[in-house]
Amino acid sequence: MAELSYRYAVAEGLAREMRRDPAVVVLGEDVAAAGGVWKTTQGLLDEFGPERVWDTPISEQAIVGAAIGAAMTGLRPIAEIMYADFLGVCWDQIANQAAKLRYMTAGQLTVPLVIRTIHGGGVAKGAQHSQSPENWALAVPGLRVACPSTPADVVGLLAGAVRADDPVVVFEHKGLLGSKGEVPDDEHVLELGRAAVRRRGTDLTIVALSATVRLALEAAAELEGQDVSAEVIDLRTLVPLDAGCVLESFKRTSRLLIVEENPRQGGWGAQIAALVAEEAFWYLDAPITRVAGESVPLPAARGLENAVLPSADQVTETALKLART
C-alpha cells in the first residue's frame, strides 16, 4: 500500500477509472492545465490529453448541463463543481434533470454522472464557501450521495460512483485535503451504501460522516481514558444508507450520538435519529443525541466559525453525558 494525501487520492482515483474505461472524462473549471483549483486533478491532462480532460467556462450550469448530455449519450463524465455552495447555481440540472431522467424515460436513458465537489468549514472561507450541503442532495430522490473521510475511501468511493448508472454527488471535505492514509495499490472499489466501523465499542454508538469521523475518533480515544467505550461508524454514503450497520451497532450499545457538520435544522442526522426511533425504539437506554453545526450562516472569522461548528471536545463532553445517563 502507498501512503497518499486525501488531495492526491482524488487525482489517483480519477486516473485509475480513466485508465480502466475510455468513456470516463473529466470536466470543470481549471481541471486541465492548472490541475484543479484544489490540485485534485493534477497529472490528468498530461496522461489523458484534452480529449478527455476539459476546461470549462465559469458556469456551473454549463458544466452540469454538458455532463448530463454526455452521460445520456454514452460517456461517463466526472464534473467538478469548485465549491459545494455553488451547487445552488446548477440545482435545476441536478435535481430536476439528472436525478429524474432515468425514471421519466422508464429506464430508456441512464445518467452515469459523477459530480465531485468540495464542502465543509474549518478553514475560514466565509458563508458562501464553507457550507456542508450534503443534506440538499439527500432530499432529492434519484441522487446517490457519497462523502469519503479517508484517502482509501476517496479512491474506493470514486470507483463505485463512476461505475454506477445513476448520478452520484461526491462531497470531498476541504479540511481533509492534507490528511494522509494508506491506499491499496490494486483495484479498490467500494460499494455505495456500505458503512465502515472505524472503532469498536460497547457503551454508545457514534455515527459520523466525512470530517466528523475524525472528531468522533478523537472523542472516542479521550472517552477510553474515562472508561467509556465508544463505537464509531463512518456512514461513507448517505444514499444508499447502510441502515443495517447503524441499527446493529445501536442494538448492542443502546445509546446513539450523531455528529454532523450540516446545520442542525434539516441535517442528515435527523434522518438517522428517525430511523433508529422507528426501527429500534425499545432498545433505547437514553435519548438519541445530536452534535451538529449551528443553524446560522458560517462566519468568516476563524474564532466565530469554530464556535458554530462541531468540535472533538464538544463530542467528548456530549458522549460522556450520554454514556452516564
Q: Are 43 and 11 in contact (CB under 8 A)?
A: yes
Catalytic residue among 119, 129, 173, 188: 129
Q: 103-110: long-range contacts (C-beta < 8 A, 24 or more apart)? A: 103/142, 109/72, 110/71, 110/72, 110/165, 110/166
Alpha-carbon radius of gyration of the chain = 19
- Asked, as a colleague might, if the bond just before 57 is cis with ω within 30 of 0, I would say no
Whether 173 is a known active-site residue: answer: no
Going through 58-194 in order, the beta strands assigned E by DSSP cover: 76-81, 114-119, 144-146, 168-173, 180-183
Q: State how far the Cα of 292 lies from the Cα of 285, in Å rounded to an integer.
A: 22
Q: Quick one: DSSP state of residue 254?
A: -
- SS3 at position 121: coil
Which of the residues are catalytic?
A: 129
